């Protein structure tokens, strides 16, 4: 990557008591890119982000933001950052606008124009003068993001920004990230366990599980590492027979995803040959579809986990 890195972490580890939550994490986020930090719940995403922002002290390792060490030059490093860490946080007895004004004071005072702009971006112009205690979860989430955007940051850190949002809200956040990057050239570090969403916006991702970075790179690096998958549709009764046939005849790891549907790795197989062999063995082929692996599938392959991701 050329130029100054927005985030650079080297060997970040964190122990809580006898338990190591994060093991020697190396991360690099380039200026102006959208970087996805992916992992299931409890993988160590939020702990890593807290260390990057100085909210908790790393047991070992260093982190810097635009070349400034977060431990030694905290104020110089953090002044370029807008952060939304693990859920929104406000004073519920104040309105959304007053919360923005109040937290803006800490950085020297946000202009009313800027407050209006971030409220408009997050769709909160109408309820801005109502007390936050009356906001829905989605509105609070969006206000949290508005707060992170307030100081025109060069780096936006969003930790699970779509938690608690409906599909429409999730789509809006996704579009907002793309817009912010396009309009303000802001680097965005976004953590999520919603892989489908991340796949659509991220330039690069890092996959973390059980406190360790498993892989880091472009989506093509991660998804393209595995060969394409193939989906085979047969009658429900023939599922077991077809699965066994594929394993024996083509030595491929075929698995039944549900009655009548089988998935297998394509590898170097010629699908025409596979189709002919299935028919000649007396199986009715309803469907034989090559499918590129999704980020989610790549993730499951990498981590062996799937219970807490979508």
Distance CA 197, CA 153 (A): 23
Angle at which helix 137-149 crosses helix 167-184, to 10 degrees, equals 10
If the CB atoms of residues 158 and 214 are measured against another protein, the closer one turns out to be 158
108 binds another protein per the rule CB under 8 A:
yes
Only segment of 74-82, 135-143, 203-211, 274-282 that touches another protein (CB under 8 A): 74-82
Only segment of 90-98, 207-215, 257-265, 300-308 that touches another protein (CB under 8 A): 90-98
For the record, the structure tokens of 283 come out as 């199986």
Min dist. Cβ of residue 177 to another protein (A): 18
67 binds another protein per the rule CB under 8 A:
no
Q: 262 forms bridges with which residues in the sheet?
A: 232, 256
Nearest to 309 by CA among 49, 53, 89, 45: 45
Site for another protein (CB under 8 A): which residue of 93, 240, 249, 279? Answer: 93
For the record, the structure tokens of 302 come out as 């990498």
**Residue where the block lists tokens 């394993």:** 247
Three-state SS for 199-265 is HHHCCEEEEEECCEEEEEEEHHHHHCCCCCEEEEECCHHHHHHHHHHHHHHHCCCCEEEECCEEEEE
Only segment of 79-87, 118-126, 208-216, 279-287 that touches another protein (CB under 8 A): 79-87
107 binds another protein per the rule CB under 8 A:
yes
Nearest to 222 by CA among 202, 244, 197: 202
Min dist. Cβ of residue 74 to another protein (A): 6
If the CB atoms of residues 102 and 261 are measured against another protein, the closer one turns out to be 102
If the CB atoms of residues 70 and 202 are measured against another protein, the closer one turns out to be 70
If the CB atoms of residues 59 and 62 are measured against another protein, the closer one turns out to be 59
Distance CA 206, CA 105 (A): 34
Site for another protein in 3-62 (CB under 8 A): 47, 50, 53-57
DSSP one-letter code for 186: -
Contact (Cβ atoms closer than 8 angstroms) between residue 279 and residue 182:
no
Site for another protein (CB under 8 A): which residue of 91, 129, 290, 291? Answer: 91
Only segment of 73-81, 206-214, 232-240, 247-255 that touches another protein (CB under 8 A): 73-81
CA count, 13 A, side-chain hemisphere, 3:
11
For the record, the structure tokens of 221 come out as 């690096």
Min dist. Cβ of residue 38 to another protein (A): 21
Site for another protein in 260-299 (CB under 8 A): none
Site for another protein in 133-172 (CB under 8 A): 147, 151-152, 154, 157
112 binds another protein per the rule CB under 8 A:
no
74 binds another protein per the rule CB under 8 A:
yes
Distance CA 148, CA 127 (A): 18
Pair type for strands 204-209 and 212-218: antiparallel
Site for another protein in 224-243 (CB under 8 A): none
If the CB atoms of residues 83 and 207 are measured against another protein, the closer one turns out to be 83
Contact (Cβ atoms closer than 8 angstroms) between residue 99 and residue 143:
yes
Enumerate binding residues for another protein (CB under 8 A).
Answer: 47, 50, 53-57, 74-76, 78-79, 81, 83, 85-87, 89-94, 98, 101-103, 105-108, 147, 151-152, 154, 157
């Amino acid at each position: 990557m050329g130029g100054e890195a927005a985030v650079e972490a080297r060997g970040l580890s964190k122990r809580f008591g006898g338990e190591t939550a994060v093991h020697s994490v190396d991360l690099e986020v380039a200026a102006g890119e959208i970087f996805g930090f992916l992992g299931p719940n409890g993988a160590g995403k939020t702990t890593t982000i807290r260390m990057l922002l100085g909210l908790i002290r790393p047991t070992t390792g260093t982190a810097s933001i635009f070349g400034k060490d977060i431990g030694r030059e905290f104020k110089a490093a953090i002044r370029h950052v807008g952060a939304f860490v693990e859920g929104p946080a406000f004073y519920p007895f104040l309105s959304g606008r007053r919360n923005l004004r109040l937290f803006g004071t800490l950085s020297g005072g946000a202009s009313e124009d800027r407050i209006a702009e971030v409220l408009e971006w997050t769709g909160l112009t109408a309820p801005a003068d109502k007390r936050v205690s009356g906001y829905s979860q989605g509105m609070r989430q969006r206000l949290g993001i508005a707060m992170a955007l307030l100081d025109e940051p060069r780096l936006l850190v969003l930790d699970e920004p779509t938690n608690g949002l409906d599909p429409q809200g999730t789509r809006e956040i996704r579009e907002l990230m793309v817009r912010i990057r396009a309009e303000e050239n802001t680097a965005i570090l976004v953590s999520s366990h919603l892989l489908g969403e991340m796949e659509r916006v991220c330039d690069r991702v890092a996959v973390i599980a059980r406190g360790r970075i498993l892989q880091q790179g472009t989506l093509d690096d991660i998804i393209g590492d595995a060969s394409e998958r193939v989906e085979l549709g047969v009658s429900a009764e023939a599922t077991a027979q077809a699965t066994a046939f594929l394993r024996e005849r083509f030595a491929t790891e075929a698995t039944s995803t549900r009655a009548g549907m089988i998935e297998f790795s394509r590898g170097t197989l010629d699908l025409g040959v596979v189709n002919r062999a299935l028919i000649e063995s007396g199986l009715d082929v309803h469907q034989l579809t090559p499918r590129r692996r999704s980020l989610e599938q790549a993730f499951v392959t990498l981590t062996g986990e799937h219970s807490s991701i979508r």
